[in-house]
Amino acid sequence: MEFRNILWEVKDRVGTLTVNRPSVRNALNREAVTEIGTVLELAAADPEVGVLILTGAGEKAFVAGADIGELAQQAPIEGRDYALRGQAIFSRLESLGKPTLAAVNGYALGGGCELAMACTLRIASATAKFGQPEVNLGIIPGYGGTQRLSRLVGMGRAMELILTGRILDAEEAERIGLVNQVTPPEELIPTTRKIAATLVSKGPLALRFAAEAIQRGMDMSLEEGLHLEATLFGLCCASEDMKEGTLAFMEKRNAKFRGR
């Protein structure tokens, strides 16, 4: 399938989605967001994709934000629809059922930061920059920034960052919990691929249910979250993967999981 704004490849059960608009620092326009949504559906349905990596073309930007020219044309109803559409695609990324890794190679601002936050893990180049500077344009984050940022770094820190529009370097982003790991620029993709390879070796159902328990449990009481965990644990126990995993452990060999 041909795309105008992104690159898509699958190798060794790892899919790599690269936002490919370097002339505008990989800014997201409607077409790019639609193409991301299309790739997410392809990745979800493809058994050869166990993990998804998202990154940006070039060295300057992961995704520097939204396409401002396009954004400036939004009327109230259109603006709401614009936000809901992006939110739906980013929520699909978050609930893909397969681990997703953001390899942040430069600016991740506005929609770019929101895209990274919708991923399971965030690996950043030491030169990466993060922020939600929408207030400088007289708007607020619209692709989930007000919700996911507070869940990752806490409400107080999210308030500060969104209301001031302050830009963070990678070191601070890691310190406050926005980023999982920082690497030298030349090691970003190799490090991300190494993490992806580790995840691919695990049981697909276990990864899916563990992520679901964590994500859904965030909005539940402890009692409700524990009940969800027990239910998903029970589903794992009924799987072929569980039988293979425990047998492989006892036989001192690597498990061959099938996601069933």
| Catalytic center residues | 114, 134
State whether residue 246 is helix, strand or coil.
helix
> Of 166, 168, 227, 200, which Cα lies nearest the Cα of 15?
200
Residue 81's alpha-carbon distances to 31, 38, 39, 43, 59, in angstroms, are: 15, 18, 21, 25, 32
Output Rg (C-alpha) for the chain, integer angstroms: 19
> DSSP assignment of 1-48, as one string?
---SSEEEEEETTEEEEEE--GGGTT-B-HHHHHHHHHHHHHHHH-TT
- Residue in the block written with tokens 């409607």: 30
Residue 41's alpha-carbon distances to 2, 30, 35, 173, 228, in angstroms, are: 15, 17, 10, 30, 26
Contact 206, 241 (CB under 8 A): yes
What's at 160, amino acid-wise? E
Biggest CA-to-CA distance, the chain: 63
